[in-house]
Amino acid sequence: MHPAPRLAQTQHAVSSRVFGVDFLPPLPPPAPPPTHAAPSAVHPATRAGHDAPARQPSDPTTAAGPPGSIIEPAPGPADPARAEAHQRLGQILARYKADAPHRHFVTAFTNIVFGEGDPRARLMFVGEAPGADEDRTGRPFVGRAGQLLERMITAMGLSRQSVYIANVLKTRPPNNATPTLDECARCLPYLMMQIAAVRPEAIVTLGLTATRALLTTDLTMSRLRGQWQTLAVPDAQPALSVQVMPTFHPAFLLRQYTAENRAKVWSDLQAVMTRLGIKPTGVG
């Protein structure tokens, strides 16, 4: 088999397993081998991509806490940096509740969905706004899109508890409407404070709305995804610049569940893993 079809099959196998698809499409008939073809070999990455079982995501309904709380691992006494970040996030949540920026726009919410995860995570995921499931539980990304995000995180060799997850908006827009520019602008300072507290090495923005809000750009997703961007976090002490990788929102993937889109997202996540030196789990 020529390298190109083999590589395409391997990439499709990996992205399919990451996103929960258990079949391989038939390949086109192989081209005739060259006259002096080398002996065929089974590449470990190809076999692992085809045969290795997918790790199951952890139950996204576990570890729920009081509405608007910060669900994250308890910092140990031997980790003062994590304890300090934990305390700072609590202060930011209290400030958000006091300021209530959502009072300036139409919203229909039950709970504030602040964020959760490791307060000193190396990797942060940022979406646009809570949905119905998130509003009900007070936790980000716990619906169908959240379950897909958790599969993605697991495939990267990480866990939901080892990253930090937040949204630009902390309250649910009516009927899950796309947040407006004004809504994003009013809520963005609190997200920036969260980023300054966590101090991640990289951020993955999920979808166009979150990407545009965080990077202050009007470029299209086709121009943004897969390309590293630099975010200078305002008022961070000490100064902080974070590398940002835009990719598709899991909800978009659920609507447009094509091999091409899955491969694009997996490519974006691979770029993040390379930057952070993370070895993927169970994918070759």
Sequential DSSP letters for 78-133: T-HHHHHHHHHHHHHHHHHHHH-GGGGS----SS----EE-TT-SEEEEES---HH
Alpha carbons 180 and 172: distance in angstroms, whole number:
12
CB atoms within 10 A of CB 32: 8
pLDDT in tens, 182-203: 999 999 999 999 999 999 999 9
pTM of the model: 0.77
Least confident of 74-88, 129-143, 156-170, 216-230: 74-88
Which has more pLDDT, 73 or 110?
A: 110
Element (H, E) at 241: strand 240-247
Indicate the CATH number of 80-276 among 3.40.50.1980, 3.40.470.10, 2.130.10.10, 2.40.160.40: 3.40.470.10
| pLDDT score recorded for residue 67 | 47
Peptide bond before residue 60 is cis, with ω within 30 degrees of 0: no
User: What whole-number distance in Å separates Cα of residue 45 and Cα of residue 284?
Assistant: 5
How far apart are the C-alpha atoms of 274 and 279, rounded to whole Å? Answer: 8
Q: What is the pLDDT of residues 26-65, one digit of tens each?
A: 333 334 433 333 332 222 332 233 333 333 333 332 333 4
Q: Where are the domains of the chain?
A: 80-276
State the residue for tokens 């961007």. Answer: 229
